[in-house]
Amino acid sequence: MKRDKQWIMTCVLTGARAYQLYCLNKKPELFELLSNLTSELDKDSVFYLVRRIEHIFEKGTKEASDDKRRV
């Protein structure tokens, strides 16, 4: 399925905003951002996305710390 340019830009910008909100520890705003992204997601799905985002960022932070120690 081919995505249009606007859809791709929206995904990238939403991801950047989600990262910013996560770094600022603004979970209510992150939850709201994901909830507003699509009305097709139920509350449990949005909570799942927030947990996955946390896991991805925590893993990335740990890997970055490990890389700094190796240098």
Per the CB < 8 A criterion, the answer to whether 38 and 7 are in contact is no
Is residue 70 pLDDT above 80, yes or no?
no
- Evaluate whether 14 touches 37 at the Cβ level (below 8 Å): yes
User: What percent helix, strand, coil does the chain show, rounded to 5?
Assistant: 80, 0, 20
Report CA Rg, the chain: 14
CA-to-CA distance for 18 and 2, rounded, in angstroms?
Answer: 24
Q: Which residues, other chains included, contact 31 with Cβ-Cβ below 8 Å and sequence gap of 6+?
A: 46, 47, 50
| pLDDT tens, residue by residue, 1-52 | 566 888 778 878 888 888 888 888 888 888 888 777 766 677 788 788 888 8
Q: What is the pLDDT of residue 9?
A: 81
Residue 40: what pLDDT? 66
